């Protein structure tokens, strides 16, 4: 397995955890935020060891970057979904008062 595929897997795996982190941040739940950040780290370390990838500085930097962007994009997706829901609720409340 190529290391690039592993890094891509780190990114994809962190998307739902980033979504979860943003949800917990919205609820002001510090424990949930900590779990959303640290649970994927355990999976990354287990995957790195089981696949035999080294802990070199370049490899760690690539994994951390993929981890960060996965968390970031997952959080952005959460915020966009909340924004769409709020806009949908505002539109449904306005109903017949809208002018064309």
Q: Over the stretch 33-84, which tens digit does the pLDDT of each residue have?
A: 999 999 999 999 999 999 999 999 999 999 999 999 999 999 999 999 999 9
Tokens of 60: 């760690």
Please write down the long-range contacts of 52-57, taking CB distance under 8 Å and 24 or more positions apart.
Answer: 53/3, 53/6
pLDDT value at residue 56: 94
């Amino acid at each position: 397995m190529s290391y690039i595929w592993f890094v891509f897997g780190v990114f994809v795996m962190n998307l739902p955890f980033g979504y979860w982190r943003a949800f917990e941040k919205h609820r002001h739940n510090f424990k949930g935020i900590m779990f959303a950040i640290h649970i994927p780290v355990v999976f990354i370390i287990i995957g790195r060891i089981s696949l035999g990838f080294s802990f070199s500085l370049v490899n760690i930097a690539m994994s951390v970057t993929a981890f960060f962007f996965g968390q970031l994009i997952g959080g952005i997706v959460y915020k966009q979904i909340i924004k769409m829901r709020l806009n949908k609720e505002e539109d449904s409340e306005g109903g017949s008062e809208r002018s064309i």
